[in-house]
Structure 1
Amino acid sequence: MNNKEKLTQHISQQFNQDLEAVRSNFLAMGGLVEQQVLDAMKALVDVNVELAEAVIKNDSRINRMEIEVDEELMRIMALRHPAASDLRLVVAIGKSVTDLERIGDEAFKIARATVALYKEGESPRGYAEARSISARVSEMLHDVLDAFARFDAKAAFEVMKADSYIDREYEAAMRSLITYMMEDPRSISRILNVMNVLRSLERVGDHARNIAEQLIYMVQGIEARHTDYDEIERRLSQI
């Protein structure tokens, strides 16, 4: 029996309905967070203040969902006393739900920057870079949630590797925008708003990577944090 089958067995036999419910709620929260990021970027690109304000309003819903999942996990810990791979599943969801909430915070910040840009006037630069990074980050978030639903550690590793591409693209975009601000100081305020958007997108990628690391540990017991990619790939290839 492989690790995926063991985890599924834990859900259906040992953790039963309680853990299945919390896992479903976690994935539902992930779906809302994913939509928040998409909506925040659509609001930015389309200069849609109403959509931006809807994203801002929805942030409180994400916060409530985080609290609900945390409370469900605490009940499971108190009543079930999980051990070994069972405990890894509970811990992974507990840590990953925090990353989801922080991704929601970054969507909130992007929406707030959209409102600021609407009031101050659009930025002369940075939208193309924001769209490009947003597409990559949205794909990462979608893929890691899909991997979580399927207990797919190898797919999670692909998400981890994708984060390095985002980091490089982010750094290049920031250098370009800093250069432009130096050439045209009148654009500083508006450029700074776009830089805040880029920073938020880069952090979304970081949080997606964190979830991927937790998933790898949950499914295979491999500690992926601060571990060389070659070593992670070597160990996953042995599975």
Structure 2
Amino acid sequence: MQILKHDLNANKVPTPVKSLHQDTDGISGGSEAGDLFGKALSMASYRPAGAATDGDSIIAVGSPGEGIEVEGVDKTAAGRVVTLRVTAGGAVSELQDIQQEKTDVTGAAEAGDRFGEQVTVVNTSPRNVGSTTSMLLAVGIPGENEGTVVDSGAVQTFSLLGAPGLTDRWIVPGAAPGLPGVPGANQLLGTSITATATHLYIGTPNGPGARGAAHLMPWSNVTGGAVAPVTSYEPGKDGLPAVGKAFGAAIQ
């Protein structure tokens, strides 16, 4: 992956900051065929303690093809996410290697999970010093099996600051955060996510709804606050025409 500034250089193109891959010094892991490092990217501004402004950034890098070794067995395409801090001066450093075999992280790395197929990060309070409740990450895991339900998928949220297992929350239909429905085979939850300062947006184009749906989940549902109602949009309901399919396949 290549990090660029918005400023144009003498060649009238965005100014390069740093080129990164898994063999770059300071980046964990190693480059292997099929890792797909950088398949999903998302960035948010960050104000560290002692800084006057939010001049730094944190980038989440999805690597859904990454194999994770568990007790000597390689779990092919289990997936992982790397978070990077980019300072205002252009220095880049790794913050966390996030995957399901990390201490206290919910779930377990399994072949084909594709953890990191989609990522979205947000700073819910960009003018203030970043905290564990304002710097947030959501990770799509479309190959996750929920019990015996194959490829039902899941979304997992984390804080971008601190150890991943301290704040992670598990989102599947019918669970505590309030996403409606029930897990179903091949729903591939986690293929469509994005975020704003107030809500996590989750697309469910493959069900439970027959034509797909899109859901707006308040961040408080996964950050320890009150669990508020999830707003859902689905063809055939609340004035939306009952036509088409895969509603929610892309959310921006």
What's the TM-score once normalised by structure 2's chain length? 0.23
Structure scoring higher RCO (CA < 8 A, sep ≥ 6) equals 1
Structure holding more strand per residue: 2
Structure holding more helix per residue: 1
Greater gyration radius: 1
What's the TM-score once normalised by structure 1's chain length? 0.24
